[in-house]
Amino acid sequence: MSGDAPGLLRRLGLFDATMLVMGGIVGAGIFVNPAEVARSVHSPAAIVGAWVLGGAVALAGALVYAELAVRRPETGGQYAYLRDAWGPLPAFLYGWSLLLVIQSGGMAAVAITFSRYFLDLTHLPLADGAVAALALAALTAINCVGVRAGSNVQSVLMLLKIAAIAALVICGLWFAPGAPARPHAPDAPLGLLAAMTPVMFAYGGWQTTSFVAGEMRDPRRDLARGVLLGVAGVVLLYCAVAFVSVSVLGPEGLAASKTPASDVMRLAVGERGAALIAAGIAVSTLGFLSQSMLTTPRVYFAMAEDRLFFPLFARIGARSRVPVYAIALQGVAAIVIALSGSYAQILNYVVSVDFIWFGLTGAALFVFRRRAMGEEGMFRAPGHPFTTIFFVAACWIVVAATIWSHAANSLIGFAILAAGVPACLYWMKRR
């Protein structure tokens, strides 16, 4: 980029960072995944305990990412951590998998989820794919206007998500009848391991806030604090939802439910409550899409600035001062997958690829600690190296468990990842 070209504007603060962290984690998963957990473990203590354990992993990851954010407050976030620790090839493959597997596939699936709840509420004569594409196109346009506009929309949607979850918890505790207590056999360790897959799905996403470090007023301070505050807030929300769900429905009823959040609200305040939580889920999915559209394109922007991607995606709008071409690329990729209907298979192998990068990023902290000089006054992850080892080990266990249970789909994910190697070598040769 030339010296007189417009750069990214630093317009985001601590509140924006916290809302982005929470928005990147909270999607539709918490409203349905407690049932998935209850199908693997069968006692109330184990069901809630799985969410507490997942929260511990997420908090350990938040500590790691908070220190990384202070050490490398750069646009692209996790991409920059991987590049500076392990080199350009792993960093490129991370961006490659974001575009082709992790983020675009996840956004397509969430957009379809939004469209189904939206159509159930409005009864409009439209196809799921059409509504999903329109929602993605609208969020693409909003984020092309500027980072402030995109952040404001994301913050409002996140506050509405918090309100929906609070309504679910309060109504479930105060108005719904409690499920009768029944004896349960001890849960097997393998059951808890299987339960962690949907739990970690629901907790993933805090890392995406690091992508917009280059647009924060004080990334060394606000990004680290935002990650810690946001993850801690989500852990409280998730554990509260899990507790209410198992308290109202019971382990058996929760395991049999396809829509546990709606079932809890239906028991608490009737059909009107079920419709209210359906609207909350629609808002939650839309908020996740808004956060993804705001943050992830900054990775493609950083790749292009490193001359590991098409130069077009390093261009910034003269007025908006955001990477409009990178944002448009993310929007188009998600729309294509949403309209193709192929997103369901992609989601089956997202986690095996995604948690590889979580583990490598956690391990990068050891590299930066070994290299660093003059760290006085810098935020340092409490409990390192033990908390970092715990986080990295948990990531590898999730990858291994997913490969074990979804071997064929995991191989497809790895094949897409491997296809990025010659692409990266091509760009490295060009630069």
Domains contained in the chain, CATH given: 14-371+384-430 (1.20.1740.10)
**Triad 8, 354, 398: Cα angle to 5°:** 145
* Highest mean pLDDT of the ranges 74-88, 232-246, 269-283, 303-317: 232-246
Average pLDDT over all residues of the chain: 83
**pLDDT given for residue 3 in this prediction:** 45
The three-state secondary structure class of 315 is: coil
- Dihedral sign of CA atoms 160, 161, 165, 166 in order: negative
- Confidence band, pLDDT 50/70/90 cuts, at residue 4: very low
- Reported pTM: 0.80
Beta pairing partners, 118: none
Query: Does pLDDT of 393 surpass 90?
Result: yes
Query: Does pLDDT of 147 surpass 80?
Result: no
- Confidence band, pLDDT 50/70/90 cuts, at residue 326: very high
- Confidence band, pLDDT 50/70/90 cuts, at residue 1: very low
**pLDDT given for residue 7 in this prediction:** 60
Q: Which of 37, 387, 17 is nearest to 200 (CA)?
A: 37
Tokens found for residue 290:
């808004």
Helix axis angle, 260-269 to 219-256, nearest 10°: 70
**pLDDT given for residue 377 in this prediction:** 59
When pLDDT is averaged across residues 279-299 and rounded to a whole number, the result is 86
When pLDDT is averaged across residues 218-223 and rounded to a whole number, the result is 79
**pLDDT given for residue 148 in this prediction:** 66
Q: Are 135 and 111 in contact (CB under 8 A)?
A: yes
**pLDDT given for residue 416 in this prediction:** 86
Locate tokens 């690329």: which residue?
A: 329
When pLDDT is averaged across residues 218-235 and rounded to a whole number, the result is 85
Q: What is the pLDDT of residues 232-280, one digit of tens each?
A: 999 999 999 999 999 999 998 998 887 888 889 999 988 888 888 888 8
Tokens found for residue 74:
């750069």
